Structure 1
Amino acid sequence: MSTQVGDTAPDQVARLLAMVPYLLARGEVRLDEAAAHFGVDADQVERDLRLLFMTGLSPGLPGDLIEVDLDALEGDRVIRVDNADYLARPVRFSPAEATALVVALRTMAESAPEGAADVIARTLAKLEGAAGAEGEDLLRLHVTPTPLEASPVVPVLRSAIDHGHQVEITYHVPSRDQESHRVVDPRGLARVEDLLYLDAWCHTAQGDRAFRVDRIVAATELDTPVADASARPRDLTGGWFSDAETTTVTLRLAPPARWVLEYYQVSGERPGPDGTVDVDLEVASEQWAQALVFRLAPHATLLAPVEWVESFSAHARAALRLYEDDGVDS
């Protein structure tokens, strides 16, 4: 993605990191106002936001990505972002991240130009100062438990796993700002990158699910035993897996809608008829999928799940009737 003349990739990353807290603090900002604040033109800010729309927390499901109201951006030239509160908090490095950063800075310092070398030296001094004069205590930078590790639900989940008991959990879905209550058979806890997941059989969904522990609002160990005491936890570290609140949606995309492949992580892709492509997406809600299909119309067709097809068609017909009632040609 191109940037304006004189604007490097590090410049853009730094601007994005500053832009998100700036936007979250204000709730709504006009595009021209944001451009003036960051000293770039409006087109550059719009390019930044379209890049931001593709970023978020691992594993990159739609509910994990930063949300940018593109309709408001394209229509009223107003910026609204959501689902990015974690960027409004100060960054804390894990031991591995701090170690990697120190090693990288030391390597860069040997060949950096004079101006950059001063910045690198000051940054390195701060990190090594926190770690110890020679960096020997670097791996003890992170001596207090992270909020995730200190979460009160973790010992409850571990106890239930050890005892073979079911757990009643309250699970938060940020993309819908809703909480669901369900009974699960816990199998194990697994760390994937910097997130902790509960692998379980969900009795509500009647299937295997991986719940992000930081989204489990409450957990209660029950006296009832799990249905299958011999079940073993799955390996969640090898790639894509479904979150508790996701549904697989299959879309048939015409060439003008193929940008979906660049903006969203797809779990499947197959050639379709007449130059189309069929893609599978894991979506957090029917409402989110419906909004995406309406935005792609008429260049996208919903193929699955079949129970959503008629619902989408009914909503589309209702929307068309609103235009007809207002005397607008559709």
Structure 2
Amino acid sequence: MSQLSRRLSRLLNMVPYFAANPGISAAEAAAELGVTTTQLMSDLNQLWMCGLPGYGPGDLIDLSFSEESIQVTFSAGIDRPLRLTSTEATALLVALRSLVEMPGTADPTAVQGAIAKIESAAGTAAGGTHAAPPVEPEDPIAATVRAAVGRGRALDLTYFSASRDAVTRRVVDPVRIVLMDNHSYLQAWCRQAEGVRMFRFDRIDAATELDEPARPPQEALDDSHVTDLFHDDDTLPQARLAVAADHAWVMDYYPMTDVRVAADGSIEASMRYGSLEWMARLMAGFGLGVRVLGPEELSVAVRSRASAALAAYSQSADGSTSG
């Protein structure tokens, strides 16, 4: 929807809103409508010039307004808020239900309340006859992170880093919560790394809101960081991997960079790791699905693990035969 269309929709809904709340102040109305007082007063001045074709007395919307009090004296027939079509209501319901499943994005109780209201207003055309599923209590960690973002407070996080195979504790300055690839992430300035990092909600083991304001530097507020899910830490060793087409799902679970997809669907990609032993164990577990192209020390470690596993199976088989 264009900016002009959004404003038109807002203007048309303001008339029944102010008709239902006569005498409300500009500050109160702006807070409820989610706009600034300046924007609200601009909208009211625009509304004053709207009305039915002809645009003469008795056709234009008439308002009496100041920052202290706003009142509709003539609505020009716009007495009810705009109605959602069944398609719009269904799309909105689907989006709201997906929010309930994404930790940290919204208060599940509030979302479920909005769903109930939309279903009641939209009726059966939007699926309103289906019983709403029970709302699960919000995860305490997700609630803490969401609250800190909303209040602009710093966070003390305990976080599992997949690339390092380690749990670390760090203080971060939250920027925003984003949804990518069906996961919720906290985008924040990490004071330890002195850079923007993305923290996946299901890997945050503990979160404590600190009694100090978040102060991310200006560079951290750049929207370009939103898609930078996995910062390439050049202090860590890097493996070059060949991923079979039927193991492409690996890319959804581990941070990969410099990805190249071949015509047959196979993939070459690079992955940082913090522990040679952990990386060798991970690669051995993928079998033929993922091959190590380098470095050599990692290839040797994977072959050693595979050989040890084969030897263990041979010993087991020999023991069974002799028994």
Which TM-score bucket, shorter chain as reference?
0.3 to 0.5
Calculate the TM-score normalised by the size of structure 2.
0.40
Larger RCO, structure (CA 8 Å, separation 6 or more):
1
Instruction: Mark the structure with the bigger radius of gyration.
Output: 2
